[in-house]
Amino acid sequence: MDDCLFCKIVKKEIPAQIVYEDDKIMAFKDINPAAPVHILLIPKKHIPDLTALEPVDAEVIGHLHLVAKQIAEEQGVAESGFRLLNNCKEDGGQVIYHLHFHLIGGRKLTHLC
């Protein structure tokens, strides 16, 4: 989508610190990290939020989780643990409407909410 920030990162129109990329997904460092490790994983396809997911997207979302595991290992948080989370729409605190998952770790996280 033309006016979507993360689509612009996918098209390399906006720079990002990319840590993983293939034909289906991309992972890059969050610009405002909440913890020592804070990476965003996104499908390259513009899916606005989790409620817009369709059965055809199942494979890419499964793949994204396997890559999240790989990135957690590379970032050194697979042993200590981490959080993978999606903020969905207004009450979920979503700001950018291109589906993304936060991989957060490197410190002890407090409980949800």
Give the residue carrying structure tokens 């969050």. 30
Q: Does 46 bind Zn ion (CB under 5 A)?
A: yes
- The verdict on whether 100 is a catalytic residue reads yes
**31: partner contacted, choices Zn ion, ligand AMP, none (Cβ within 5-8 A by kind):** ligand AMP
Q: Does 100 bind Zn ion (CB under 5 A)?
A: no
> Quick one: 49 or 78, whose CB is closer to Zn ion?
49
3-state SS class at 17: coil
Q: What are phi and psi of 43, to 5 degrees?
A: -75, 145
**98: partner contacted, choices Zn ion, ligand AMP, none (Cβ within 5-8 A by kind):** Zn ion
User: 34: closest CA among 89, 74, 93?
Assistant: 93
Give the residue carrying structure tokens 């959080």. 83
> Quick one: 32 or 51, whose CB is closer to ligand AMP?
32
Two structure tokens written together for 60: 């890419």
- What is the contact surface with Zn ion in residues (CB under 5 A)? 1, 4, 6-7, 46, 98
| Catalytic annotation, residues | 100
